[in-house]
DNA sequence: TATTGTTATACTCTATAACTATA
DNA sequence: TATAGTTATAGAGTATAACAATA
């Protein structure tokens, strides 16, 4: 690096800024969700399953990048809270679907996440805004 | 959400895509750094301190968003590896600086991170690329 | 009084291996 | 043979409280 361009922070590095931005924004969302006793993974599962009744634990894990073994405590927590139920597909697999209470809670989750996503986009200056999601998606293969 | 626009993934949500993109990219960098027995936090400390000799552990933590208490094992690891040394500023504070071995290792770290940052930017289509860092920075207050 | 460095501790998320039962 | 669900476990990151010594 050119010594003259030395930065006392590392925020000029896109990778570093990407990590920091994700941490800042996810920290905010995590705080809002924790007020309704949900974690980020809980809300993600609920949004993903929403009105579907054909997703297994493994399916959800693939979509959310959570390994099978790590889905166990997530689903156990949601089931314990009465937000999801399991319905046998065959004798090996079970579909994860929201309970009626889960459907009601999902409406609250959507309130929070819709507001969150809007606030996120509104923080980005208008001229950069339309490029943000496409740029992110290009990084996810 | 409009049922017709229902997505089987959550990648249409900028916040979700932000988290995923950060996880994907940081996973790649973490893997490359681990081949040289460094963690992300190790490399961040080394890049930040680089040729400075006036940063305390607390200063570094503020810059990297790592709490004082959590800096202890990071610096202990770097010191154990012979990459940093501590120089008393007064009887309370100590400056963290690279050892000669740390300076040599930093050159390797820069090779990896420079290549990584270039690859990251090159994955983003040219028309979106100049908007990426400004958008990220707008999210970090 | 505030700050530095530290210890101890707990919680969350993530990663791996192994097992049973079923497709 | 491969997959689903699970258990157990370890690693890594992060958060809080508390303490002694010093600014």
> Per-residue pLDDT tens for A12-55?
999 999 999 999 999 999 999 999 999 999 999 999 999 899 99
Distances (CA, A) of A81 to A30, A37, A38, B38, B92: 18, 9, 10, 40, 49
Distances (CA, A) of A121 to A59, A114, A133, B7: 29, 11, 10, 19
Best mutation target among A3, A7, A8, A14 (most B Cβ atoms within 10 Å) is A14
- The pLDDT of residue B7 is 65
Q: In angstroms, rounded to a whole number, what is the distance separating the alpha carbons of residues A89 and A72?
A: 18
pLDDT tops 50 at residue A60: yes
Section B88-101 average pLDDT: 98
Q: In angstroms, rounded to a whole number, what is the distance separating the alpha carbons of residues B118 and A19?
A: 16
For all residues of chain A together, what is the average pLDDT?
95
Q: Are B50 and B98 in contact (CB under 8 A)?
A: yes
What is the pTM assigned to this prediction? 0.95
Distances (CA, A) of B96 to A1, A35, B48, B65, B81: 20, 39, 10, 17, 14
Residue of B nearest to A63 (CA): B9
SS3 A131: helix
Q: Are B84 and B95 in contact (CB under 8 A)?
A: no
Instruction: Pick the range with the lowest mean pLDDT from A6-10, A115-119, B126-130.
Output: A6-10
**Which helix (H) or strand (E) element contains residue A73?**
helix A68-80
Counted across chains A and B, CB pairs separated by less than 8 A come out at 158
pLDDT tops 90 at residue B46: yes
pLDDT tops 50 at residue A4: no
% chain A with pLDDT above 70: 95
Q: Are B60 and B96 in contact (CB under 8 A)?
A: yes
Q: In angstroms, rounded to a whole number, what is the distance separating the alpha carbons of residues A60 and A65?
A: 8
pLDDT tops 80 at residue A1: no
Best mutation target among B9, B12, B21 (most A Cβ atoms within 10 Å) is B21
pLDDT tops 60 at residue B1: no
CA B91, C1' D22: Å apart? 7
Beta-ladder partners of A133 = none
Cα A25 versus chain centre, distance: 11
Confidence of residue A8 (pLDDT cuts 50, 70, 90): confident
Tens of pLDDT along B5-35?
456 899 999 999 999 999 999 999 999 999 9
A56 phi and psi, to 5 degrees? -90, 170
SS3 B96: strand
């Amino acid at each position: 690096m050119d010594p003259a361009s030395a930065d006392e922070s590392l925020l000029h590095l896109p990778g570093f800024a990407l990590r920091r931005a994700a941490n800042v924004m996810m920290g905010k969302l995590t705080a809002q969700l924790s007020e309704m006793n949900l974690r980020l993974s809980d809300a993600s599962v609920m949004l993903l399953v929403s009105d579907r009744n054909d997703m297994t634990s493994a399916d959800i894990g693939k979509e959310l990048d959570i390994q099978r073994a790590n889905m166990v405590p997530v689903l156990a927590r949601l089931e314990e809270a009465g937000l999801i139920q399991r319905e046998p597909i065959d004798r090996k697999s079970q579909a994860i679907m929201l309970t009626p209470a889960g459907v009601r809670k999902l409406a609250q989750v959507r309130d929070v996440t819709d507001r969150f996503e809007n606030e996120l986009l509104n923080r980005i200056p208008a001229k950069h805004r339309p490029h943000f999601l496409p740029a992110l998606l290009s990084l996810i293969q």
